[in-house]
Amino acid sequence: MTNLQKNKCIDIQTTADDHRIAKLAAFAIGLHLLEAVLPSPLPGVKPGLANIVTLFVLYRFDFATAAWVSLLRVFASSLLLGNFLSPTFALSLSGALLSLAALFLTQYLPLKYFSAVTLSVLAAFAHMVGQLIIVRFWLIPHTGVAYLIPVFMAAALVFGVVNGLLTNYLLSLNPPQQHQDKG
């Protein structure tokens, strides 16, 4: 708060926040689109790199901002990819909502013991559960889905850890600029 430029930014705080959210959301959307184009190892399983942005935002800003970024990403990406209101969109939204819920519940875990890896893993599990609910009860009510659940959850664990580590790395490169009360 000593920098003159920063003061200027704080004077027009709302706009800066909007800009920030927009920039971050754009970054998240970009990552999401990139993933949509690349082939995935298993159908329905993606590394979910855009979630790194959500997590990063949660740490450096607040839950509300993270929620905005995440949901904007879901809606904008689906509009851009042309699958708004499609099953893909439903999967994406359901996953996002549940993982946000998980983040909401775990955001105050002490930093001394829990890093982004924990949040990422739990959010990834929640995300997968959200998607599996849509799959099982709407898209493919086949009992064979049970067979796939452990595979998907294992993938969620792996990518959750990877994304968490990447987030930690990014967080370490961008130390907090404002004072945040994060327990």
Binding stretches for other proteins (CB under 8 A): 109-110, 112-115, 117-118, 121-122, 125, 141-144, 146-147, 149-150, 153-154, 157, 160-161, 164, 169, 172, 175
For the bound state, the minimum distance from the C-beta of residue 116 to other proteins, rounded and expressed in Å, comes to 9
Sequence-ordered list of residues with C-beta below 8 angstroms from that of 159, at least 6 positions apart, any chain: 45, 46, 47, 48, 124
The residue to which tokens 């990819």 are assigned: 81
For the bound state, the minimum distance from the C-beta of residue 171 to other proteins, rounded and expressed in Å, comes to 9
Instruction: Decide whether 39 or 150 has the Cβ nearer to other proteins.
Output: 150
For the bound state, the minimum distance from the C-beta of residue 150 to other proteins, rounded and expressed in Å, comes to 4
For the bound state, the minimum distance from the C-beta of residue 95 to other proteins, rounded and expressed in Å, comes to 17
Residue pair 94/133 in contact by the 8 Å Cβ criterion:
yes
For residue 143, what is the enclosing H or E element? none
Joined tokens for residue 74: 């879901």
Q: How far apart are CA 62 and CA 102, in angstroms?
A: 14
Instruction: Decide whether 45 or 117 has the Cβ nearer to other proteins.
Output: 117
